[in-house]
Amino acid sequence: MEIKNAKRWAKGGTEPYLMGLAGYFVAFALRFALAPMLDDRLPMLFFAINCCMVAFAYGFWPAFWMLLLSLSTALFFFVKPFYAFDGVAQNDMFILIVYFTLVVLVAGLLEWVRREQYRATLIARVSDTRYRLLVEADEDRRAILKKEAP
């Protein structure tokens, strides 16, 4: 069965982006609080977790925009030299590329799974409706047959 609106499983509007920003600020606060212990290691960990949660709840695009915001924040605040965009080492770029790739991959997979889940729900609803209509038509047919019987 062809379901054309399975990509509409997520909420639209500004809520996904506002919730993503709320998670972004929580991730920033956690990473900033742990900055003395972590130094410049794991600059994107909490941001990546936020992006995956946004992807699960609201879809790929809000998660992607949170990822772009998070990458620039992690580069500025949590990669040496701190509070600057210059002097990013090759190893730091490799780590950021790995985080970017993993988050995009996870967000894409979550989007695909959620679309299929929504598609299955829609098919189940259509099947249930068709079954009810079939039962009603059968009851009507039986009632007509009963009236015509001698």
- Sign for the CA dihedral angle at 35, 39, 45, 48 comes to positive
Is residue 16 within 8 Å of 10, Cβ to Cβ? yes
pLDDT at 63: 97
User: CA 52 → CA 46, 49, 115, 147, distances in Å?
Assistant: 10, 5, 16, 62
Query: What's the one-letter identity of residue 22?
Result: A
The C-alpha atoms of residue 44 and residue 78 are separated, in whole angstroms, by 8
- Phi, psi (degrees; rounded to nearest 5) at 60: -70, -50
Give 138's contacts (C-beta < 8 A, 6+ positions apart). Answer: none
List per-residue pLDDT tens for the chain, 150 residues long: 666 666 678 888 999 999 999 999 999 999 999 999 998 889 999 999 999 999 999 999 999 999 999 999 999 999 888 888 776 788 888 988 999 999 999 999 999 999 999 999 989 999 999 999 999 999 999 989 888 876
Give 13's contacts (C-beta < 8 A, 6+ positions apart). Answer: none
Query: What's the one-letter identity of residue 132?
Result: R
pLDDT at 90: 85
pLDDT at 36: 93
The C-alpha atoms of residue 113 and residue 100 are separated, in whole angstroms, by 20
Domain residue spans in the chain? 10-113
